[in-house]
Structure 1
Amino acid sequence: MKQTISIFWFRRDLRLEDNHGLFEALNGKHPVLPIFIFDTEILEKLPINDARVTFIHKTLQNLSETLQTKYNSSLGMYLGKPLDVFKNLSQEYQIDGVFTNHDYEPYAKNRDEEVKAFLAETQIEFKTYKDQVIFEKNDILKADGTPYVVYTPYMKQWKSLFKTTDLHTFDTHSVLKNTIKNKQLPHLSLIDIAFTPSQQSIADFTVTPHLIQNYEATRNFPSQDSTSRLGPHLRFGTVSIRNMVKKAITEQNEVFWQELIWREFFMTVLWHFPHTVTQSFKPKYERIEWRNNEMEFKLWCKGITGYPLVDAGMRQLNQTGFMHNRVRMLVGSFLCKHLLIDWRWGEAYFAEKLHDYELASNIGNWQWVAGCGVDAAPYFRIFNPTTQIEKFDKNQEYLKQWCPDFQELTYPAPIVDHKFARERCLRVYKAALQ
């Protein structure tokens, strides 16, 4: 006779602490089988040494070891399409319910609908919970019931609503004993999923009181490297957003707090406007005649444009999987406005390289620099890549670290003249937007 169980499906919530869906599953009436699915639909689009896959695998190993040593339990790892994995699990177990946390990206929504429909055929409940954000979907709307498309009023409404919200955390450890016991569950190595360990590693995050208190004063200076590196950990859920917001409030740093709100703003925009994955939020920007010069794009990717701050940022990205936020704005603007290359090309390159890649934020920020998104920078704002050095890397420490050849005779000449590029951009944008 098949064992009756509940399943908890880990996705963007790779932690045992303060995990909403896991807590709900463990409080049910059946033992819980925790699982993770290496989704072949996603894996086949990634390079075989992707640092994010290495990070996910290592995190899962740690979770599994904790479950084994403390609770005589384990975590099942599966490879395939989620629908097929659930079909196989339903043959092996009597499944009472599948628990997981909400995911808001278009692919994830379609995947979940597919799984939910299959489970419903055999009367298996599919229950999902809010976990990776404080506010989601329709939680924050304008008075007329439409979504916000400008950040500042969204942020004010977010804070107003937050004042009356109980920031409840979930004591998962008190109920982890309710996982399946003494069961040999499938454990996959990186080789099993056809990946190799990455030479890059995802940095641990730093959210000390000192960093939060000094965040506003230091965050714009790339040489100081005083950003929290929280991005990948929020992306994969190795840290609780509720705990991070509590830290921001404890240290009373509005700017750090507002960065967390930006993330939710972009997630809400993507939820309401999924077409923005491939199209400009402002339709008239689809009329821009991009030059899309492939050779210039390659030079941008490699960090050999002849503009030191642009090149330093791209080389930092290529070598580490990270780029300082201030520099991200500059390299994005340079691609779209100096080179007139479609923001979608840059978005795809960042998606491949960034450890903290998150679809909503990547789309939102690329459309911001191109001028075509919600609450975007006006198209006539064109960063000067040379004066940006004076503003944000006056002593050239960042340049010396990531673009040490910038003062050498072998350093390339600028691939385009700033004044010429600026005038060309204004002309092309203006023609498209008339």
Structure 2
Amino acid sequence: MSISSVNSYSTAMLQWQGQQLKSTGTGSSSGTSSSSSNSLSSLFSSTGSMTNQLSSMVELTKYAMESMGLSSNSRVTFSQITKYREQLLSSFNDSVKNGLASVGISKPEDITFTLDKDGKLAASSSNAADQKAAQTWLDSNTTIGKELRSTLTNAGVDASTSVSMKVSSTGKLTVVNTAQAAIQSGLDSSSDLSTKLRTALGEMGVDLSTPINFTLNSDGQLVVSDENKQADAVNAWLAENPDLANALSTQIKKQNVEASTVSLRLGASGNVQATVNNKELTDAQAALNSSTLGSTISSGLSNLSIDPDVKFTLQVNTDGSVTVISDSADKSKIQQFFDENPSLVKQYKQVEALSGLDDARKAMQVSPSDMRKRIQVESMAAWWSGSGNANSYFGNYSNGKMDLLAGLNLNV
């Protein structure tokens, strides 16, 4: 995607992906912006005088210097102004490209959807923009949550049970065991306990190439099953080193789950892994496996993004705002993007005002003597008009030459 200048600055300034941009005026509440717009119009006016065109050129140059952050007593060349415009244009393109890319959801698979007892879905994500976009979509599609709740109820899941889930790019819904995730997070924050256990087991000669499981007994101690050949030695060490058991018990109480449903597994590497057995969640997963609502959610979230090859035109309105013109289904999203980013609109209008300056300069490359003659004729014509001695008068300047056309009534 890119914005590029076009040659006919009197009717068009910029285009996006080949779409011509027709401007209805760049005026705004800012006096400087309005002045630059009027100056640009004067430069390309076929009826404007040389004096007015020169004045307009000066105004546009002053506007360019202000945009560049230069003081009025600074010196600047047209080459520097052109280079600044290109930098401004490049920055604008990058900002629009990145901005439109962020309109959609970057990682739908990282969003957790929680279904409450009333069938309402709530989105949560570490990415605030993703969470907001997903929640807005869910609030506009409330029937999905109600259908999910109905599906789970029919599968025997208690209506008061809160269920969290994630959706894959293929539309598969996976139940999230929130208690298990919270307990695991708590244990991961004390990873040194896992390291200490692995070291002790290694000294005992316990082979961890096949992971071993631990559970809490009625006394709140971690134990391995009697089937383990070294169970006595391992359990003795665990009784003398209860830190891991205590950490697990603390997390179990926080999550308000039965200790008998929780177990730990330790493998050859990494921290101990917690498992919380929950029959309702198992039943819920079975019900979701046969549901097509995951595909509905996945498709809906995917459609929130803007097509990277989108084409649109920006039209500057008389109040300084911009209107998006496009045949794309994403037109309203693009319009909202610019409405919510006034700094980008301001930058765009700066690019628009500066785009015609260099071409106008080239168009006005006439010799000083011809320019002086034209100004003198224009001044005389203005005086004659004021004296009431002229019926008509005009000079036609073309190809570096001024032609005076008949029309003066020379009554002396």
What TM-score do you get using the length of structure 1 for normalisation?
A: 0.19
* Greater Cα radius of gyration, structure 1 or 2: 2
What TM-score do you get using the length of structure 2 for normalisation?
A: 0.20
Structure of higher RCO (CA pairs closer than 8 Å, 6+ residues apart): 2
